[in-house]
């Protein structure tokens, strides 16, 4: 059995002060950094995903049209645009500890890390299979959106999934609780970090 860590969208735009800042985002970023620095924690592979949206593009309707208010369900304010500070990983993350980078949402709506591609054009399922990964810990932002979607896709790929609740932050409490309940019902282990 080999275990990987998937860090979902710990980016400046999703932490406090960002375009779609989530309360607790900074704390999650620092917590993940501490988790990776803990010498008792071992991963065979560390993957990080991030939104990498096109500029001057509605990204397949993901960004609200100019002059229209986002509904925060299907349409969102502009965020994580390629080449901007908001799209960069939170400064707490030690990029030297990340083995594989996945970019998603390039011109299309994409919530799951499994909908993106690595910087060399591979999909995440293939990367994990090539590395012999059977178990996946999922952490990051946001519990009720991209963490949920990524964990569900990992289960669909027949991985044993563990969501570390001390290392996630959601947009809103009620949908975050519902997301964790759904993940548990779909076979994910929900565990404190």
Catalytic residue among 51, 78, 104, 137: 104
Active site residue 188: no
Active site residue 9: yes
Number of H helices, E strands in the chain: 4, 7
Burial class of residue 40 (count of CB atoms within 10 Å of its CB; 0-12, 13-18, 19+): exposed
Q: What 8-state DSSP symbol labels residue 65?
A: P
Active site residue 104: yes
Do 16 and 26 touch, CB atoms closer than 8 A? yes
> In terms of DSSP H, where are the helices of 46-172?
124-130, 148-156
Token output for 26: 């900074």
Catalytic residue among 9, 51, 137, 144: 9
Do 62 and 109 touch, CB atoms closer than 8 A? yes
Catalytic residue among 51, 78, 146, 188: 146
Q: What amino acid positions are annotated as catalytic residues?
A: 9, 104, 146
């Amino acid at each position: 059995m080999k275990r990987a860590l998937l860090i979902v969208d710990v980016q400046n735009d999703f932490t406090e002060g960002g375009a779609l800042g989530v309360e607790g985002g900074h704390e999650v970023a620092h917590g993940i950094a501490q988790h990776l620095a803990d010498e008792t924690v071992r991963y065979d592979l560390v993957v990080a995903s991030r939104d990498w949206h096109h500029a001057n593009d509605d990204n397949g309707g993901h960004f609200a049209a100019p002059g229209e208010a986002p509904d925060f369900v299907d349409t969102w304010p502009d965020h994580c645009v390629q080449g901007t500070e908001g799209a960069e990983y939170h400064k707490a993350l030690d990029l030297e500890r990340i083995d594989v980078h996945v970019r998603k949402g390039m011109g299309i709506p994409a919530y799951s890390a499994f909908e993106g591609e690595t910087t060399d054009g591979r999909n995440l399922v293939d990367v994990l299979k090539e590395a012999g990964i059977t178990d996946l810990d999922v952490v990051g932002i946001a519990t009720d959106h991209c963490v949920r979607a990524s964990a569900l896709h990992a289960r669909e790929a027949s991985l044993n999934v563990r969501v570390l609740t001390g290392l996630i932050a959601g947009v809103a409490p009620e949908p975050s609780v519902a997301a964790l309940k759904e993940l548990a019902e779909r076979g994910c282990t929900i565990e404190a970090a």
